[in-house]
Structure 1
């Protein structure tokens, strides 16, 4: 058997190629779904609709997980009830979005994005009154942002079904925002006693 000699330069080149191929592989579920959609949709309009669907799915999954967390880590009844409503309503919306995305051949994330996971982890470290305050503040800010994004999709989206779905969710998101503000006020009043 002959000894195979590989030059140090060839080994370095192989190592660099291997590293470069690994660098392009994302583990962020949201980014993976976006990359898959970019490959599927050459049409910029379809890609923009897919971007909305991906962001909505990621946000919806976070709402469900945080809602469940609120039920276990929250101190006040207002926060626990808000969490239950969020988990239930967003689970239903997520199921609807999955069915719609399947019809449209849109890839959705299968888990939380890195940003959403970071938000979850931050809240998961808190309990009691500290959790209640952080959770209600997050819910208010998140739903204000969500309402804006869903209204934009309802008005400016390209796919009629996705526009209709987004428009149909705005009243529920507005109700969630109102309930989050009520829970935040209840938490503040308990804190100021």
Structure 2
């Protein structure tokens, strides 16, 4: 069994992934910008894979984790969805930047967790999250 910090990491990681997936599906369907659409498709593919792997760790360690989005993230997604065109793209990319910055902090802590599976998962996933953040920042610059 994992300790409380690992349980927290698993739950927060799954929720962050679900947020990225949900927001990105909306972006994929709403945006007219090919860079934003391509980014959203990458987000969906990568975060489905990340969440699948994290869910396996949760199951192995008997951690009850849901695949829901927090009220705070749901409100951010709804706020983003009320925009259109450039304002939508900017709001989506801002959400992705903010969430990936937070996720990177969480994963940096998890890479030193006592549980080796959590450590390996965090170390393997961090470069993907960092690449997502770099891509989102580059897109944000192009949307100014």
TM-score (norm 1): 0.71
Aligned with 1:180: secondary structure?
Answer: helix
Q: Within 5 Å, give how 1:114-193 maps onto structure 2.
A: 114-155=71-112, 157-188=113-144
Contact persistence 2:90–2:143 (CA under 8 A): yes
In structure 1, the residue corresponding to 2:65 is in which secondary structure? coil
Distance of 1:128 and 1:158 partners within structure 2: 45
Q: Deviations over 1:30-84 (max 9, x none)?
A: xxxxxxxxxxx7xxx6111101100000000000011111111213111111111
Inter-partner Cα distance in structure 2 for 1:138 and 1:117: 11
Q: Alignment partner for residue 66 of structure 2, among 100, 109, 112?
A: 109
What stretches of structure 1 move > 6 A for 4+ residues in a row? none
Instruction: Report 1:1-193 matches (<5 A).
Output: 46-155=3-112, 157-188=113-144
Q: 1-side partners of 2:67 and 2:139: how far apart?
A: 30
Q: State the structure with bigger RCO (CA 8 A, min sep 6), 1 or 2.
A: 2
Partner Cα separation in structure 2 for residue 170 and residue 66 of structure 1: 20
Gaps of 5+ in 2: none
Which protein has the larger Cα radius of gyration, Structure 1 or Structure 2?
1
Distance in 2 (alpha carbons) for counterparts of 1:57 and 1:110 = 6
In 1, the alpha carbon distance for the partners of 2:67 and 2:91 equals 26
CA distance in 2, matches of 1:142, 1:128: 21
Which residues of structure 1 form unaligned runs of 5+?
1-40, 189-193
Q: What is the CA deviation profile of residues 69-107 of structure 1, one whole-angstrom value per residue up to 9, with x for unaligned ones?
A: 111121311111111110110011011111111001011
Is contact 2:18–2:67 with CA below 8 Å preserved after alignment? Answer: no
Could you state the TM-score of these two structures normalised by the residue count of structure 2? Answer: 0.94
Aligned residue pairs: how many?
144
